[in-house]
Structure 1
């Protein structure tokens, strides 16, 4: 009688361990899916976002807003550019329907100059561009000619909203917040 009880208890214990490992594996898979679709990590390459972000910064990327909205003014976004073959990190300064003009180094959106305290360099003039539906006008914070491949460059132009992979939330290394613009009215 005792021998049968020991075998039965041992089988229950083994079954419990197997179910424990299955639950653990399912939980890890669910956690991976949530993290993969809600957050990400990317590295800054180049100087196009100086002084806000420097070459080599490691960024935490937030993907959650992609499910319920579109990028807006001042957002720093990570964009997958198939033509370039890698990700670029830029600031949104124009959304669909906006009129973007650069005169004497000042960027105007819908006739209003942008109040930008986070930039370096001076942008070259650009004739007025109207941002097409479903697209964004993005620029690097380093406005010096040749430092940033962004929407000012005809080879890139406005980027499609669907090419946005996420939002740069914070620099993890070195740890700091990302500068945001003053309110655009």
Structure 2
């Protein structure tokens, strides 16, 4: 083989090695530290808007199988879940030494009010909601007001949340309103500041009574090793008030399904594509999540 061909081959090998090393480092970074997450729906308005982009802090609560990355590219038929990569880390719920809610390495308990990304085991989809119930808590909705352990949380009127009644995000979803306006008109929701028993405060939205049939519920007793999650857009969130299932709710969320905590919006776009720079929401860049 000529020196020229040997040089070309060596260059190709070095390029491939560089790409492989870069992918391994990126995979390790994503597994141990931060995972990107794009907000696809309005269930967490107005805390999180469709088109917000954030990184999930995986160090906040320790690690489980859900800390491993998943790769989904529908157009190419690729569907590799975290359990495919790290299923060996999943607990056996029927095992003799099974921990309630599964096991975590360096694990710590989320706090009420934390905004958390978790994996729904029934379909492997990542969801983002707010923690409102910890193990042993009794959760109930009474006339649209969250009750924890028999006590209603503090609610304070905070005006209205107004957005244009236009398609949002890549899925072109229409926003939810108290009353449906003409296209381009003001879409209005009542806004409140909700304060949980530990003092954590955040905004919640209300668009009217019994929109999703969960303004009045029975009592949910959160099992050991599980969390109770709710969206801030209370009338339009498939959360722990509904049984876990594809295109359904979240049910009680086992601790091992927690991916991490969402702390800050990094980037935000109101358009169908993040490349449409004229739809960027610069006021939300590096916006703290509360």
**Shared fold (TM-score greater than 0.5)?**
yes
Q: In structure 2, what is the equivalent of residue 130 of structure 1?
A: 221
More helix by share: 1
> What secondary structure does 1:72 align onto?
coil
Query: Whole-Å Cα distance in 1 between the matches of residues 40 and 46 of structure 2?
Result: 13
Query: Whole-Å Cα distance in 2 between the matches of residues 58 and 34 of structure 1?
Result: 18
Match of 1:111 among 140, 150, 157: 150
Query: Following TM superposition, by how much is the alpha carbon of 1:37 offset from its aligned partner in structure 2, in angstroms?
Result: 0.7
Deviations 1:145-167 (A, max 9, x none): xx211001134321111111111
Query: Which aligned runs of 4 or more in structure 1 are off by greater than 6 angstroms?
Result: 25-28
Query: Whole-Å Cα distance in 2 between the matches of residues 141 and 84 of structure 1?
Result: 23
* 5+ long unaligned stretches in structure 2: 1-16, 63-106, 155-193, 195-201, 209-213, 245-249, 269-284
Is 1:88 paired with 2:173? Answer: no
Is 1:167 paired with 2:256? Answer: no
Structure 2 CA distance for partners of 1:83 and 1:170, relative to 1, 3 Å: same
Query: Whole-Å Cα distance in 1 between the matches of residues 23 and 256 of structure 2?
Result: 29
Structure 2 CA distance for partners of 1:46 and 1:28, relative to 1, 3 Å: closer
Alignment RMSD: 2.3
Q: How does 1:22-37 map to 2 (within 5 A)?
A: 33-37=28-32
Query: Whole-Å Cα distance in 1 between the matches of residues 42 and 122 of structure 2?
Result: 20
Structure 2 CA distance for partners of 1:31 and 1:84, relative to 1, 3 Å: closer
Deviations 1:37-94 (A, max 9, x none): 1111111111100110011110111010222411110010001113244111000000
TM-score under structure 2 normalisation?
0.49
Match of 2:136 among 94, 97, 101: 97
> What secondary structure does 2:259 align onto?
strand
Structure 2 CA distance for partners of 1:28 and 1:82, relative to 1, 3 Å: closer
Query: Whole-Å Cα distance in 2 between the matches of residues 59 and 45 of structure 1?
Result: 12
Q: How does 1:7-86 map to 2 (within 5 A)?
A: 33-67=28-62, 68-86=107-125
Match of 2:242 among 144, 148, 153: 153
Query: Whole-Å Cα distance in 2 between the matches of residues 110 and 127 of structure 1?
Result: 13
* 5+ long unaligned stretches in structure 1: 1-21, 180-185
